[in-house]
Amino acid sequence: MMTRNQPISIVVVDDEKYICNIIVEALSSEKYDVRAFSDPALALTHIEQNPVDLVLTDLVMGEHTGVQVLETALASHGDATVILMTAHPTVQTAISVLRKGAYDFLVKPFRLELLKATIKRGLEHQQVVRENLHLKGQVEFLKVAGAANADIEIDDFLAMVARSCRKEMDATAVGIIETDPQTKEVVRKIYAGEEELPPDGVLDNATVDKFTYTRSSKPSISKDEIDADGETRTRIWISQPIFVRRRFHGVINLLIESRFDRLTPGEIDVLAILANSAAAAIANYRHYEDLHTSYLQAIKGLANAIEARDQYTAGHTDRVTKLAELIARQLGWDERRIEHLIMGCTLHDIGKLGVPDGILNKPDRLTDEERRKMQTHPELGLKIIDGIDLFRPAVPYIIAHHEWYDGSGYPRGLKGEGIPIEGRLLTVADTLDAILSDRPYRKGADLEVAVNELVKYRSTQFDPAIVDVLLDLLRQGEIDFAAKYGREMDVSKIAALKVSEKASV
């Protein structure tokens, strides 16, 4: 429940001073801060410049009207409660002011008990409205917080926050601008609404400096006016800062039209809650990035450890990863999938950490028993990464890169489309590198030999569609063999190579 640190502020407006005095006296026993004005112009200025909870105003006051007071109160304080008084009531007048946002209508003369009861009901109604706004903000927070705990991209999560913000604030457009806390440069922009906000909304250098150095969590608000369909309309531009561990990380920018031109306390609460949601998402994402960088360094260290034990496979992991990435990009994989591929290729031989050095570095062909031990490395690799969620995308690369398309591979004898495409892709890249590279018992073969081997076992050992993609890359000259293997390779014969039937992935 929302709490107050200040007494409830009530403004009384009536051009008959004695009525103001009677009402002030009647309310003196209550814990209200009551200000009375017999000059409506002074009342309007006070309402615009000071916090106000409830306004009690006469309807007709010479040059000014209670409708002006009503409109000013709602424009300045959207959740203010306004009660009008009149000695000349009509049904049309009552309907009109209620439609404009008045809470109630009192007919002069009225009993002071009725006045007090009406004020009490009005304030209770206001409190309910404010609490509902706060609860709505909490509900939106729970929605986006639930999404934060799911496997969702940071851009998608911030887009959800932007949509929630637009809905709850009735905004024309919302933009979330994430900045680097050190350089202040914009690193991410997310929009939601009928139109795209200017690139940085109201995020100018002065605003950034204000938020950065004062660490103020209050929104920055500016207004302008536009002509729309012959009418002058007020627009509100709002920047709600986003702080992560008291460091400025960006803003939620809003454009609000066609309504009163100030935020209510409840709306400020909702906006702050949604900014906290964005801050939590950014903090989690930055934390994930830091962890991810650390894990990638660990992965690289593991790959180096594997290659340090096997003197004949130095550079194998990097070469296979680059070959596999070329194939994957040709297949149209997105960047997230490419990132997983790089991880999987880097870790695909991690199980060799469990294979004896004598087998890894044996200069002769392996015996059947030694081969069986070597063939356990995919399953050993799974055991090594078991329980590390970040490495989960590497699983199909580790377990399936020795499966054969006809089902005669290991360790599980998977076949055709039953082999994860990650494994099928890596098998082709891994085999090409293995044939071209030196081994303890032989020198690396020429490209023509390697390609003939891939074509020969196309559809038996290898996925034919992936072999065809690799052949296309070779024909296009996309692979720098001199850099990878220290020698040039003739691709001219590859260009003329025909396969019986081109497959598709």
- CB distance 223 to 260 below 8 Å: no
Closest CA to 279 of 254, 237, 255, 251: 251
List the alpha helices (DSSP H) in 149-256: 154-169, 205-214
Q: Give CA angle at 97 (58, 114), nearest 5°.
A: 55
Partnered with residue 236 across adjacent β-strands are 223, 256
Give the relative orientation of helices 447-456 and 421-436 as an angle to the nearest 10 degrees: 140
**pTM as predicted:** 0.52
Query: Which tens digit of pLDDT belongs to each residue from 100-159?
Result: 888 888 888 899 999 999 999 888 887 777 666 555 555 554 455 444 444 567 787 788
Tokens of 80: 């203010």
Query: Which tens digit of pLDDT belongs to each residue from 297-355?
Result: 777 777 777 777 666 566 788 899 999 999 999 999 999 899 899 999 988 988 888 88
Tokens of 465: 């569609």
The two beta strands, 247-257 and 231-244, are antiparallel
Q: What is the pLDDT along the chain (505 residues), one digit of tens a residue?
A: 333 446 889 999 999 999 999 999 999 888 889 999 999 999 999 999 998 999 999 998 988 889 999 989 988 887 789 999 988 877 787 788 888 888 888 888 899 999 999 999 888 887 777 666 555 555 554 455 444 444 567 787 788 878 877 877 778 888 888 888 777 788 788 777 665 555 444 445 555 555 555 566 677 777 777 666 666 667 777 888 888 777 877 888 888 875 555 566 667 777 777 777 777 777 777 777 777 677 667 777 777 777 776 665 667 888 999 999 999 999 999 998 998 999 999 889 888 888 888 888 787 888 999 999 999 999 999 998 888 777 889 999 999 999 999 999 999 999 999 999 999 999 999 999 988 887 666 777 888 888 889 999 999 999 999 999 999 998 888 877 766 666 666 677 665 566 655 565 5
Residue-wise DSSP of 242-262: EEETTEEEEEEEEEEESS-SS
Angstrom CA distances, 437 to 269, 398, 447, 450, stand at 64, 21, 10, 10
Which helix (H) or strand (E) segment holds residue 40: the answer is helix 40-49
Closest CA to 260 of 227, 288, 234, 226: 234
- Coil, strand or helix: which one is 125? helix
Residue-wise DSSP of 393-448: GGHHHHHHTT--TTS--SSS---GGGS-HHHHHHHHHHHHHHHHS-BTTBPPPPHH
Partnered with residue 244 across adjacent β-strands are 247
397 vs 80: CA distance, rounded Å: 63
Quickly count: other Cβ atoms within 10 Å of residue 415's Cβ: 14
Task: Give all domains of the chain, ordered by start, each with its CATH number.
Answer: 8-131 (3.40.50.2300), 152-281 (3.30.450.40), 310-495 (1.10.3210.10)
423 vs 472: CA distance, rounded Å: 20
* Contacts for 347 with CB less than 8 Å, ≥ 6 apart: 299, 302, 303, 381, 385, 391, 394, 397, 398
C-alpha 93 chain-centroid distance: 49
Tokens of 255: 């454009």
- Coil, strand or helix: which one is 53? coil
- The verdict on whether omega for the bond into residue 411 sits within 30 degrees of 0, i.e. cis, is yes
8 vs 31: CA distance, rounded Å: 7
For residues 459, 465, 469, 470, the Cα torsion angle rounded to the nearest 10 degrees is: -20
> Nearest 5°: phi and psi at 133?
-60, -45
115 vs 24: CA distance, rounded Å: 12
Angstrom CA distances, 351 to 16, 99, 363, 367, 400, stand at 91, 74, 20, 19, 13
User: What is the distance between the terminal CA atoms of the chain, rounded to a whole angstrom?
Assistant: 58
Which helix (H) or strand (E) segment holds residue 173: the answer is strand 173-179
Tokens of 269: 């609460």
